[in-house]
Amino acid sequence: MAVETGKRYYTRVGTTADQAVVDAGLRSYMLRVYNYMASGVALTGIVAYLVAATPALSAAIFGTPLKWVVILAPIVFVFFFSSKLEKMKASTAHTMFWVFAALMGLSLASAFIVFTGQSIARVFFITAGTFAAMSLYGYTTKRDLSKWGSFLIMGLIGVILASLVNIFVGSSALQFAISVIGVLVFVGLTAYDTQDIKNMYSEHYDSETMSKLSISGALRLYLDFINLFMLLLQFLGIRREE
């Protein structure tokens, strides 16, 4: 029996066999979410590396006003994608996710130009470890993390607005504050989003709905990972010598 609470669905089962079926379905669903998320991160990294390794291409993007389009387009895209996802077909949502991941790669190419490859790799593994630990916590904890939601969303909005302002102000002090607060926000969001994605699962959904939920969950975790990586890079990254 499925019980609806807001937009979350919980399944009550009467037998051990029923519970095993639900657990297997949940594991399959979460694995799909993580696979999409990891594939998106990989695509972003490949695009960022290729752009940074092609001087003519990187100069055409970051040496012209086009850089503002590349920097701001992912923000506009993700809001559009999130608002339209519910009405999209699953196949369209998949395509949009890959397009967004590639677009983020163009934006993140600037980091590959500014920071050394060794420090980028080191920060990536630190980010991966932090993300894995917090996502595991969110998946396994019995504690209800929903009360964190409003606080974390407010923090996220503050970080986004401050980041946009600092693009034009260029304050190192403000950037430091953004990085500190941002890391805390996205560490918390990783656990919160993982639990929320898990709670939205129901074995009663049709395949189309489950596919769209998987993409939606992957997008949330992808954004947590990418933003955490970029913020940690501000702390731990080593800049190339000019």
pLDDT in tens, 85-109: 888 898 899 999 999 999 999 989 9
Name which of 58, 43, 38, 48 is nearest 214 in CA terms.
Answer: 38
User: Would you state the pLDDT for residue 197?
Assistant: 93
Distance of CA 119 to the CA centre of its chain: 21
Judged against a pLDDT cut of 80, whether residue 17 lies above it is answered with no
Phi, psi at 8, each rounded to 5°: -105, 150
pLDDT of residue 2 exceeding 70: no
pLDDT band at 20 (very low <50, low <70, confident <90, very high): low
| Model pLDDT, residue 164 | 78
Q: For residue 203, what are the CA distances in angstroms to 4, 33, 125, 207? A: 13, 15, 34, 10
In percent, the amount of the chain with pLDDT more than 70 equals 90
Only one residue has tokens 């993982």, namely 194
Summary mean pLDDT of the chain: 84
Mean pLDDT of 180-203: 90
- Return the higher-pLDDT residue of 14 and 152: 152
pLDDT at position 155 over 90: no
Query: What is the 3 state secondary structure string of the chain?
Result: CEEEECCEEEECCCCHHHHHHHHHHHHHHHHHHHHHHHHHHHHHHHHHHHHHCCHHHHHHHHCCCHHHHHHHHHHHHHHHHHHHHHHCCHHHHHHHHHHHHHHHHHHHHHHHHHECHHHHHHHHHHHHHHHHHHHHHHHHCCCCCHHHHHHHHHHHHHHHHHHHHHHHHCCHHHHHHHHHHHHHHHHHHHHHHHHHHHHCCCCCCCHHHHHHHHHHHHHHHHHHHHHHHHHHHHHHCCECCC
Going by C-beta distance under 8 Å and a sequence separation of 6 or more, which residues neighbour residue 113?
Answer: 52, 58, 62, 240
Q: Give the span between the Cα atoms of 204 and 17, in whole angstroms.
A: 16
Asked whether residue 74 carries a pLDDT value surpassing 60, the answer given is: yes
Burial degree of 22 (CB within 10 A; 0-12, 13-18, 19+) = middle
- pLDDT at residue 7 greater than cutoff 60: no
Confidence of residue 83 (pLDDT cuts 50, 70, 90): confident
Q: What pLDDT sits at residue 64?
A: 81
pTM (two decimals): 0.85
Res. 204 pLDDT band, cuts 50 70 90? low
CA distance 147 to 242: 47
Q: Which residue has the tokens 């009405």?
A: 87
